[in-house]
């Protein structure tokens, strides 16, 4: 009955998420995050067996009731992004009642990581990415102008030669900030879960690396527009630039990790006097 009730709550909104969000470039990472997150959750749960205990009944029931009420209200109003957040909160509250706080602390990362599979509200994405979008476009224009390209910008519009690019289109990869951050954190956790210092340091580098990768993507799209054509830059080559973005992010993370490992592995020399 518990499993049936959970499926009745989870399946309808998640089917809508799959249809409306996971099928787009912005949310294409959702199925990957969900699958890898469930795998990691099962692995961490198995390695933490013995920590299960019943959660505080009053606290758990209050949290579950609040999340379920929000889930129902948001479902009636049709705000899917917030409804799935309430759904996820209800699942965590139910898990707390069943296995307790110690187990939830032991599997905290899979719980946090799988939240990336949920679609964030568009207003939140716009608020977080618009300043980054403007900074990336201005940085790309400044760099290309320093190399003598006929390029300029006005707000979110980039002009290069006879072409005009809207940053919203040329930099649609900014939506991949969430994707790159999720994959980066997953990689860092698997590599450094037993080293708290390395985990914190590399996690702090995930977002800057994702921004750098998107900066590279914008440069590629501007240069493709200038040397080939606007249609080419928005066609197959646009998707290729997205692949380069992920490759650049992963390569940068691996390089930083190698540098960190090399620095920490270097032992101080012992000088003997006498």
Residue entry with tokens 């900066």:
215
Q: Which of 6-20, 150-164, 221-235 has the largest mean confidence?
A: 6-20
Give the residue with greater pLDDT, 43 vs 5: 43
| pTM score | 0.75
Beta bridge partners of 151: 160
pLDDT tens digits, one per residue of 18-28: 888 887 766 77
DSSP H or E run through 206 = helix 196-227
pLDDT tens digits, one per residue of 207-259: 888 788 888 888 888 888 888 766 655 655 566 666 777 777 778 878 887 88
Task: Tell me what pLDDT residue 272 has.
Answer: 47
Among 250, 122, 245, CA closest to 183: 250
pLDDT tens digits, one per residue of 124-134: 777 777 777 78
Task: Tell me what pLDDT residue 169 has.
Answer: 45
Task: Tell me what pLDDT residue 237 has.
Answer: 59
Q: Distances from the Cα of 252 to the Cαs of 184, 217, 255, in angstroms?
A: 10, 14, 5
Residue 49's φ and ψ, nearest 5 degrees, are -60, 140
- Contact assessment for residue 179 and residue 217, using Cβ atoms and an 8 Å cutoff: no
Within 10 angstroms of residue 69's Cβ, the number of other Cβ atoms is: 12
Give the residue with greater pLDDT, 183 vs 14: 14
Task: Tell me what pLDDT residue 199 has.
Answer: 78
Give the residue with greater pLDDT, 255 vs 96: 96
Task: Tell me what pLDDT residue 72 has.
Answer: 92
């Amino acid at each position: 009955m518990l499993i049936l009730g959970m499926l009745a709550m989870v399946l309808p909104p998640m089917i809508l998420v799959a249809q409306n969000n996971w099928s787009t470039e912005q949310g294409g990472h959702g199925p990957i995050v969900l699958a890898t997150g469930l795998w990691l959750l099962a692995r961490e749960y198995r390695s933490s067996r013995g920590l299960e205990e019943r959660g505080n009944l009053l606290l758990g029931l209050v949290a579950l009731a609040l999340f379920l009420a929000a889930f129902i209200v948001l479902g009636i109003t049709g705000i899917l992004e917030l409804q799935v957040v309430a759904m996820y909160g209800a699942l965590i509250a139910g898990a707390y009642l069943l296995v307790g706080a110690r187990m939830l602390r032991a599997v905290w990362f899979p719980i946090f990581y799988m939240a990336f599979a949920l679609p964030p509200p568009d207003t939140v994405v716009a608020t977080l990415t618009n300043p980054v979008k403007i900074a990336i476009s201005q940085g790309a224009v400044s760099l290309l102008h320093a190399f003598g390209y006929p390029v300029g910008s006005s707000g979110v519009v980039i002009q290069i030669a006879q072409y005009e690019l809207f940053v919203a289109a040329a930099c649609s990869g900014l939506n991949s900030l969430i994707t790159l951050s999720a994959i980066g954190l997953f990689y860092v956790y698997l590599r450094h879960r037993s080293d708290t210092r390395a985990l914190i340091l590399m996690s702090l580098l995930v977002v800057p690396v994702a921004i750098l990768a998107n900066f590279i993507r914008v440069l590629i799209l501007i240069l493709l527009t200038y040397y080939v054509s606007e249609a080419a830059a928005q066609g197959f080559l646009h998707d290729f630039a997205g692949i380069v973005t992920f490759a650049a992010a992963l390569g940068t993370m691996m390089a930083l990790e190698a540098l960190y490992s090399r620095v920490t592995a270097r032992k101080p020399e012992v000088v003997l006097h006498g």
